Amino acid sequence: MTQTDYTVEGRHFRTKVDYARAVHDKQIMDRLRRETDLTDRRQLERLKRDLKDGKYKFFTLLGEDFLEEVEEYILDASGRSGKKLEAYARAELEKRERRRRISVLAFSLAAAVCLGYLGIYSWHAKHSDSAYDQLSKRLEDEEAETYGETPVPTAQFTLDEKQAPGEVLEKFKNLLNQYEGLIGWIQIDDTNIDYPVMQTDDNEYYLTHNTEGEYDRNGSIFLDKDCDIQKPSMNLILYGHHMRSGRMFAGLENYEKKAYWEKHPVIEFDTIYEEAEWEVMYVFRSHVFSQEEIAFKYYQFIDANSEQEFESNMQEMANMSLYDTGVTARYGDQLLTLSTCDYEEKNGRFVVVAKKVAKE
């Protein structure tokens, strides 16, 4: 029997119901594409705000794809001169009405524009990677200065009142002078995950900004605003985008396979106050629930008020885990939760939970 192809906009949907929802979403997207001048940044920014505010109802991940597409158009529009934008707009408007020769010319121009965008995006990606590489090298240099036979004097560092209770590690002091929101560093072997970890009082900020405070669609790895590394919180929750390029927290999906966990059971995450290793306990899929839904919301588990509450949370995560690691935690242990997007469902999340162990 021939299997029905439930593919829309390059995404495959498993059921007829999901496919019907995707067709509905595509109709909205096509209408918005027709009604919006994709070379006009003001219109694109307005459309982006409407999408984020939920003005248009999407039932599948196509909605998130469309938001990403609009953001790419905004970046594209920012990188061209006015004359090129006008030429591109005229070509897009006229290519369906002109004769074959002019249509071919329009498609050629569109291809050139796409190549231009890819060039711009590649440049931004390389620039971002280079910045993180330099940061990583600086951290290694600071560690060498701290633990080498002949320590090199570091720049003077002044703690503000919020940071005063903790003793900042030497290797972070110079970096902390430059990056005010820095709270640590995370690294996982055999992945691209080797990044500084940031924190601010707005969980939305580092979704679209890098460590320099510049707009960056890759965002940054950041600690939940309600977590405290000084107290410290019982569970430190880190968020990062799942970029299709493999950047940020995309590498977490490796833990979907038990064989990867068996070779990489430990995650390195140092706060600016303490070096530590974290042993992976649970790997599971979840999603963002509405406020009204009664369910275990892992992203709200920062502290437990009692041993019973802690054990209940542990059982919830154990039940969702894709496989049994044999690793358990007791009340009083400190946990690390890494969260990223999961594209298997709308508002899906892929989560890795670990507990702190003594660093060797």
Q: What is the pLDDT of residues 64-92, one digit of tens each?
A: 888 988 888 888 776 654 444 455 445 55
Cβ atoms within 10 Å of 307's Cβ, excluding its own: 11
- Of 216, 226, 166, give the one whose Cα is nearest residue 195: 216
Higher pLDDT, 188 or 180: 188
Please state whether beta strands 266-271 and 277-287 pair in parallel, antiparallel, or not at all (unpaired): antiparallel
Higher pLDDT, 360 or 92: 360
What is the mean pLDDT of the segment spanning 89-98?
Answer: 55
Rounded (5°) CA angle 342-290-233: 75
pLDDT at position 39 is 85
Q: In whole numbers, what is the pLDDT of the chain averaged over residues? A: 81
pLDDT at position 245 is 84
* Alpha helices per DSSP H over the chain: 16-35, 41-52, 62-78, 82-94, 100-147, 170-178, 258-263, 307-320
Q: How confident is the model at residue 13 (pLDDT cuts 50, 70, 90)?
A: confident
Q: What is the DSSP letter of 291?
A: T
- Of 38, 211, 41, 30, give the one whose Cα is nearest residue 113: 38
Distance of CA 352 to the CA centre of its chain: 14
Helix (H, G, I), strand (E, B) or coil at 34: helix
Q: Cα–Cα distance between 218 and 322 in angstroms, integer?
A: 27
Q: What is the pLDDT of residues 246-272, one digit of tens each?
A: 899 999 999 999 999 999 999 999 999
Distance of CA 285 to the CA centre of its chain: 16
Higher pLDDT, 334 or 20: 334
pLDDT at position 93 is 54
Q: What is the pLDDT of residues 111-166, one digit of tens each?
A: 554 455 445 444 455 555 555 656 555 555 555 454 343 333 333 333 343 344 46
- Of 182, 296, 200, 161, give the one whose Cα is nearest residue 169: 182
Higher pLDDT, 265 or 14: 265
Q: Is the pLDDT of residue 22 over 60?
A: yes
Rounded (5°) CA angle 42-46-52: 145
Tokens of 207: 């979704």
Q: Cα–Cα distance between 222 and 224 in angstroms, integer?
A: 7
Q: Cα–Cα distance between 221 and 185 in angstroms, integer?
A: 9
Q: Is the pLDDT of residue 355 over 50?
A: yes
Q: Cα–Cα distance between 241 and 138 in angstroms, integer?
A: 24
The DSSP string of 150-209 is: SPPPPPP----TTTTTS---HHHHHHHHH-TTEEEEEE-TTSS-EEEEE--S-TTGGGSB
Cβ distance 239 to 350 under 8 Å? no
Higher pLDDT, 343 or 122: 343
pTM to 2 decimals?
Answer: 0.60
The phi-psi region of residue 190 (left if phi > 0; otherwise alpha if psi is between -120 and 50; otherwise beta) is: left
Q: How confident is the model at residue 241 (pLDDT cuts 50, 70, 90)?
A: very high
Higher pLDDT, 177 or 279: 279
pLDDT at position 312 is 96
What is the mean pLDDT of the segment spanning 202-229?
Answer: 94
pLDDT at position 153 is 32
Among all chains, which residue has been given the structure tokens 């990867």?
A: 260
Cβ distance 46 to 40 under 8 Å? no
Q: What is the pLDDT of residues 42-68, one digit of tens each?
A: 999 999 999 989 899 999 888 888 898
Q: Is the pLDDT of residue 10 over 70?
A: yes
Q: Is the pLDDT of residue 319 over 80?
A: yes
Q: Where are the domains of the chain?
A: 7-122, 158-357
The phi-psi region of residue 255 (left if phi > 0; otherwise alpha if psi is between -120 and 50; otherwise beta) is: alpha
What is the mean pLDDT of the segment spanning 309-322?
Answer: 97
Any idea which architecture 158-357 has in CATH? Beta Barrel (2.40)
Omega of the bond leading into 165 within 30 degrees of 0 (cis):
no
pLDDT at position 178 is 87
Q: Is the pLDDT of residue 210 over 50?
A: yes
